[in-house]
């Protein structure tokens, strides 16, 4: 098995050519030293040479001269009880190689690194299984990391120079840069919508309309005014139930009537879909705690390729039902929960869309009027990861009256501490976001006062600290 892995699929000559090109053409190959690893190479001399080149680059930011490299490799081979002459012979061999195909090598080196990384991770998984370790979702993560090698290798960033101004400003101010929520008071905060790579968390106690808000957002984002593609991952209720709730919202037909007369409901909801949905919503479900963010990302990529979609949002309902990639003994529970946020945000950045992922407040927050950055269930670290956090707030009395306040308490991209009234139609699940209200206008008397109360409502969002 090990021999077969060593041979597949690059021959020894190509890997030696990679080394020779790295040394002779640093102008072309230096950019790839960040993804090349010494153990991607077969043979002791090859591995040691790659290791010494990479160490030298890391320390001195340049490729070593031939004579220096020969000495470094010789010293390391001697330390490993091998003849140093072997180093000199191998370095002379590389020095005499024809590297006229350096352009071809540079075009294939990312593929070489990906496949060698996959082989490395196959060995790792086999070893862990033989040792009786539970690898769980880390298997998927290993290979996700391998396949993502070099995906942005040619993205060098932007020089802060007048020539870059048009590119940056045009990108960030385009009307379709992000995705608008369909709630006018919220869309006034984020003028270009929720942007690619943003992580938006809707924070609420149990049974306080997290799923209803997610379905509202999906329907409105895919509606006629926005026409966005949305991927909806139901991890608490089934995909069929999420789909059904969206039909009720789009059609405006109460749940009771839909169950009483399914035939009429089907006819009217089909008409409503044709008239009110311009984008594509894909509903997919996972049982609670069975899917990691890596699993969701793999499925999202498959759906995007299959249907040629350009999703503006991925909605995951909800954070606590997602399985952390690292299990049990490797990460403490609060760290694993924060890792779900990190992975979700990275997925959004990679796929070019925002990620909306509700979560529960901790028990200390259940009785308060609004949440704060200390309200995240399980891990305070979560507050530092999100781009936007919105509390969905309703006391028992407000819940009975169909009232739902929303409180933007964290906002990396604009003004925070904005509080809105709103309503929920329990018969259809349709939510509205109403006028902006002061915190002391709520009827609970239990809000935590302090910074929220002192903040001026008309402060400049450009002064927000990130």
* Same-domain pairing of 113 and 262: no
Does the residue 168 lie in any domain? no
* Same-domain pairing of 137 and 212: no
pLDDT in tens, 368-380: 999 999 999 988 8
Does the residue 22 lie in any domain? yes
Q: Could you give the C-alpha distances from 102 to 301, 312, 452, in angstroms and in order? A: 33, 39, 60
**41: part of which helix (H) or strand (E)?**
none
* Omega cis (within 30) before 143: no
Domain CATH code at residue 8: 1.10.860.10
As given in the structure block, the two tokens for residue 232 are 């909806």
According to DSSP, residue 321 is labeled G
Tokens 């190689």 correspond to: 97
pLDDT in tens, 249-281: 999 999 999 999 999 999 999 999 999 999 999
SS3 219: helix
According to DSSP, residue 376 is labeled B
pLDDT in tens, 32-74: 888 999 999 989 999 999 999 999 998 888 899 999 999 999 9
Distance of CA 188 to the CA centre of its chain: 25
- CA dist., res. 30 & res. 46, Å (int): 18
- pLDDT attached to residue 251: 97
- CA dist., res. 307 & res. 282, Å (int): 10
Does the residue 169 lie in any domain? no
As given in the structure block, the two tokens for residue 205 are 């106690």
* Same-domain pairing of 75 and 198: no
Domain-terminating residue out of 147, 162, 193: 147
Does the residue 157 lie in any domain? no
* Same-domain pairing of 98 and 181: no
Mean pLDDT of 172-194: 94
For 112, the domain range is: 2-147
pLDDT at residue 444 above 50?
Answer: no
SS3 97: coil
Does the residue 199 lie in any domain? yes
Does the residue 165 lie in any domain? no
- pLDDT attached to residue 152: 66
According to DSSP, residue 429 is labeled T
Does pTM surpass 0.85? no
According to DSSP, residue 314 is labeled E
* Same-domain pairing of 181 and 143: no
Q: Which of 39, 2, 36 is nearest to 21 (CA)?
A: 36
* Same-domain pairing of 333 and 376: yes
Residue 434 confidence class, pLDDT cut points 50, 70, 90 = very high
Q: Which of 398, 401, 385, 391 is nearest to 358 (CA)?
A: 391
Q: How many CA atoms, within 13 angstroms, populate the side-chain half-sphere of residue 218?
A: 32
* Same-domain pairing of 226 and 101: no
* Same-domain pairing of 311 and 406: yes
C-beta of residue 417 within 8 angstroms of C-beta of residue 231: no
* Same-domain pairing of 99 and 191: no
SS3 422: strand
Domain count for the chain: 2
Burial of 423 (0-12, 13-18, 19+ CB in 10 A): middle
* Same-domain pairing of 345 and 400: yes
* Same-domain pairing of 224 and 99: no
Domain CATH code at residue 270: 3.40.50.300
C-beta of residue 73 within 8 angstroms of C-beta of residue 52: yes
* Same-domain pairing of 129 and 220: no
- pLDDT attached to residue 314: 98
Residue 447 confidence class, pLDDT cut points 50, 70, 90 = very low
Does the residue 156 lie in any domain? no
pLDDT in tens, 114-171: 998 988 888 888 888 888 877 666 677 777 788 778 776 666 677 787 878 888 898 8
Does the residue 433 lie in any domain? yes
- pLDDT attached to residue 253: 97
Q: What are 407's strand-pairing partners? A: 391, 419
- CA dist., res. 448 & res. 395, Å (int): 14
- φ/ψ region of 350 (left if φ > 0, alpha if ψ in -120 to 50, else beta) reads alpha
Distance of CA 399 to the CA centre of its chain: 33
Domain-terminating residue out of 147, 166, 187: 147
Domain-terminating residue out of 147, 168, 195: 147
**50: part of which helix (H) or strand (E)?**
helix 44-60
Q: Do β-strands 405-411 and 388-393 pair in parallel, antiparallel, or remain unpaired?
A: antiparallel
Extended strands (E) in 373-437: 388-393, 405-411, 418-425, 430-436
């Amino acid at each position: 098995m090990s021999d077969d892995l060593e041979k597949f699929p690059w021959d020894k000559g190509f890997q030696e050519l990679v080394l020779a090109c790295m040394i002779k053409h640093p102008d072309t190959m230096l950019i790839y030293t960040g993804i090349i690893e010494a153990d991607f190479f077969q043979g002791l001399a090859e591995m040691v040479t790659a290791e010494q080149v990479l160490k030298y680059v890391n320390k001195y930011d340049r490729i070593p001269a031939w004579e220096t490299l020969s000495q470094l490799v010789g010293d390391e081979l001697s330390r490993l009880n091998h003849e140093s002459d072997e180093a000199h012979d191998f370095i002379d061999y590389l020095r005499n190689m024809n590297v006229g195909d350096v352009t071809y090598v540079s075009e294939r080196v990312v593929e070489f690194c990906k496949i060698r990384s996959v082989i490395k991770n196959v060995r790792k998984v086999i070893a862990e299984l033989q040792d009786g370790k539970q690898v769980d979702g880390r298997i998927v993560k290993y290979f996700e990391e391998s396949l993502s090698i070099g995906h942005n290798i040619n993205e060098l960033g932007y020089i802060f120079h007048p020539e870059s101004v048009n590119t940056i400003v045009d990108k960030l101010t385009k009307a379709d840069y992000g995705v608008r929520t369909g709630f006018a008071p919220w869309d006034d905060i984020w003028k270009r919508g929720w942007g690619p790579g943003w992580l938006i968390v809707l924070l609420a106690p149990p049974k306080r309309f997290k799923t209803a808000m997610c379905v509202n957002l999906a329907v409105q984002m895919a509606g006629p005014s926005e026409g966005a593609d949305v991927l909806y991952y139901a991890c608490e209720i089934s995909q069929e139930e999420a789909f059904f709730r969206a039909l009720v919202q789009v059609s405006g037909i109460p749940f009771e009537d839909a169950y009483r007369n399914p035939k009429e409901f089907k006819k009217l909801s089909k008409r409503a879909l044709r008239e009110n949905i311009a984008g594509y919503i894909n509903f997919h479900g996972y049982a609670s705690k069975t899917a990691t963010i890596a699993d969701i990302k793999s499925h999202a990529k498959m759906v995007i390729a299959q249907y040629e979609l350009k999703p503006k949002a991925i909605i995951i309902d909800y954070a606590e039902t997602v399985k952390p990639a690292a299990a049990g003994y490797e990460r403490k529970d609060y760290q694993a929960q924060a890792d779900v946020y990190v992975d979700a945000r990275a997925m959004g950045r990679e796929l070019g869309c925002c990620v909306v992922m509700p979560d529960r407040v901790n028990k200390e927050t259940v009785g308060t009027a609004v949440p704060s950055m200390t309200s995240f269930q399980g891990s305070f670290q979560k507050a530092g990861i999100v781009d936007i956090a919105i509390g969905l707030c309703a006391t028992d009395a407000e819940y009975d009256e169909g009232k739902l306040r929303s409180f933007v308490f964290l906002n990396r991209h604009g003004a925070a501490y904005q509080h809105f009234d709103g309503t929920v139609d329990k018969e259809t699940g349709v939510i509205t976001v109403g006028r902006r209200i002061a915190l002391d206008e709520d009827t609970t008397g239990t809000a935590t006062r302090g910074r929220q109360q002192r903040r001026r409502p008309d402060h400049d969002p450009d002064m927000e600290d990130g």
